[in-house]
Amino acid sequence: MKITKICCIGAGYVGGPTMAVIAQKCPHIQVTVVDLNEQRITDWNDPNTDNIPIYEPGLSEIVAEARGRNLFFSTEVEKAINEAQVIFISVNTPTKTYGKGKGMAADLKYIELCARQIAKVAKENKIVVEKSTLPVRTAEAIKSILDNTGNGVQFQILSNPEFLAEGTAVTDLLNPDRILIGGDTTPEGEEAISALVDVYANWVDKEKILTTNVWSSELSKLTANAFLAQRISSINAMSELCEKTGADVNEVARAIGMDSRIGPKFLKASVGFGGSCFQKDILNLVYIAKSYGLNEVADYWEQVIIMNDHQKKRFSSKIVQTLYNTVADKKITFLGWAFKKDTNDTRESAAIYVADDLINEQAKITVYDPKVSKIKILNDLNYLETRSAEENHATVSTFANAYDACKDAHAIAVLTEWDEFTTYDWQKIYDSMHKPAFLFDGRNILDAKKLEAIGFIYNGIGS
Residue 357 and residue 319 in contact, taking contact as beta carbons nearer than 8 Å: no
The beta-strand segments (E) located in 256-393 are 331-335, 364-368
Q: Got the DSSP string for 27-83?
A: TTSEEEEE-S-HHHHHHHT-SSGGGSSS--TTHHHHHHHHBTTTEEEES-HHHHHHH
Residue 74 and residue 111 in contact, taking contact as beta carbons nearer than 8 Å: no
| Cα→Cα distances 142→93, 111, 117, 150, 457, Å | 14, 8, 11, 11, 56
Burial class of residue 349 (count of CB atoms within 10 Å of its CB; 0-12, 13-18, 19+):
buried
- Tell whether residue 26 is among the known ligand binding residues: no
Q: How far apart are CA 120 and CA 155, in angstroms?
A: 13
- Tell whether residue 17 is among the known ligand binding residues: no
- Tell whether residue 116 is among the known ligand binding residues: no
- Tell whether residue 387 is among the known ligand binding residues: no
- Tell whether residue 40 is among the known ligand binding residues: yes
- Tell whether residue 178 is among the known ligand binding residues: no
Number of H helices, E strands in the chain: 18, 14
The catalytic position among 7, 114, 242, 277 is: 277
- Tell whether residue 11 is among the known ligand binding residues: yes
277 is catalytic: yes
**Phi (first) and psi of residue 80, to 5 degrees:** -65, -40
Q: Of 271, 270, 235, 277, whose CA–CA distance to 254 is shortest?
A: 235
- Tell whether residue 95 is among the known ligand binding residues: yes
- Tell whether residue 351 is among the known ligand binding residues: no
- Tell whether residue 443 is among the known ligand binding residues: yes
- Tell whether residue 290 is among the known ligand binding residues: no
- Tell whether residue 77 is among the known ligand binding residues: no
- Tell me which DSSP letter residue 237 carries: H
- Tell whether residue 414 is among the known ligand binding residues: no
Q: How far apart are CA 406 and CA 435, in angstroms?
A: 13
- Tell whether residue 275 is among the known ligand binding residues: no
Known binding residues: 10-15, 35, 40, 91-95, 132-133, 162-166, 221-225, 261, 268-274, 277-280, 339-340, 347, 443
Binding residues for substrate: 162-166, 221-225, 261, 268-274, 339-340, 443
**Residue positions in the annotated binding site for NAD(+)?**
10-15, 35, 40, 91-95, 132-133, 166, 277-280, 347
| Catalytic positions, written as ranges | 277
